[in-house]
Amino acid sequence: MNFKNKFQFSNFVLIGFVCVLLSSCKSEETTIILPLLTTTDVSNISRYSAISGGVITSDGGGSIIERGVCWSLTINPTIENNKTTNGTAIGPFESSITGLNSGTTYYIRAYATNKAGTGYGSSSVFTTLNNPLDVKTAYMPAGTYTMGSATNPKVPLPSETPHQVTLSAFLMSKYEITNTQYSTFLNKKGVGSDGIYSAGAYPTKVLIYASSGESDWGIHYVNSKWVPVSGYENYPIIFVTWWGAMEFANYVGGRLPTESQWEYACRAGTVSPFNTGTCLSNEQANYDWSLPYGVCKNTVSTSLGKTQAVGSYSPNAWGLYDMHGNVSEWCYDAYDDYPTTPQIDPQGPIQGNAARMIRGGSWSQSADICRSAARFFSGNGYYDYNGFRVVFVP
């Protein structure tokens, strides 16, 4: 045996000896399989949320990296759809599911992930409670943003002092509330031609005024019923007071957005004057096109001169339509100056100043008024350029 062969043989013997001592020289590692688990029943089902979970009975021989539930509109959802993340231990766990749409059927199952991949429990199905007026919503994730603007507006408006705001997640109606939705609410509550809802939270206040004249794009009281003006069924409600917006929001189980919620939702993660960027064109919103923002230009300068059907323009990044223009929107807050310190879920003042905040600008106003940060206020009156949308807290 030559030197080279002796060296190789010695190495082989040495390696074999070490393997015997350590009992660890195997061709493969211990096999890891997918986790085994079950899905628990869905409970606490509301219009926009539910609770489920699972029980992990085996980790498959490897540590659990992630666990939770996943859901979708089709059977056998995966973590590529929607999911929660709830720890890494085996055994039972519970997950809160938020951001759902009302009156919608979902499929759900628990999942657990280890190095081998993701295992799933059996698929279950549930349906969220129905929204009485089919108010379609979009999910606004929790987050922190800078509310306000350091840019001085061109016209006198309330202070837009920049300050940090942190908000919990919420849902907001995708569209401005329509003539059809609002008239249905009035009829269900038996509100007469005077627009007063005596059994409501504001029993002496007028909720709505019939539209007429050059601004006849709202609703009428005909044969003891409120009805949309023909051809304007899917247009935003107008001539609605702040009290009227509040009563509707109460009826559908929501509330009016706070100023901070409204601006956060409008921006949808942007920091520019509009959620469309530096400019707001005539192809992006319904406003007075003869008055674009700054040095921006429009291809058409003669505006439409009235409201348009909700959803006529593209939504922002979070799925909300007409946050700029069409109708200005009532907010929950009474007018006050902004704070200068960071805020967490600010509610805004509701007592004191009778003027209420309005956001978003309208068909009759300049692009400057339509900015994400622009704010102005009004008495609790009624106008052909005012409407509203609602928010829901999961």
- Residue 121 CA neighbour count, 13 Å, CB half: 27
**Beta-sheet pairing, 143-147 with 137-140:** unpaired
Whole-number Å distance between alpha carbons of 144 and 266 = 14
Q: What single-letter amino acid sits at 180?
A: T
Mind listing the domains of the chain with CATH numbers? 36-127 (2.60.40.10), 133-394 (3.90.1580.10)
Long-range contacts of 350-353 (CB under 8 A, 24+ apart): 353/377
Furthest-apart CA pair in the chain: how many Å? Answer: 114
> Average pLDDT for consecutive 10-residue bins of the chain (394 residues)?
44 40 48 96 90 96 96 95 95 93 92 97 91 88 95 71 95 97 97 97 96 97 98 98 96 95 98 97 98 96 97 97 98 91 89 82 97 91 95 86
Which amino acid would we find at residue 393?
V
Location of structure tokens 């540590």: 63
The predicted pLDDT at position 131 comes to: 78
Go through the chain and tell me how many residues it has. Answer: 394
Pairing of strands 163-167, 343-344: parallel
pTM of the predicted structure, to 2 decimals = 0.79
Q: Do the Cβ atoms of 279 and 296 come closer than 8 Å?
A: yes
Residue-level pLDDT at 262: 98
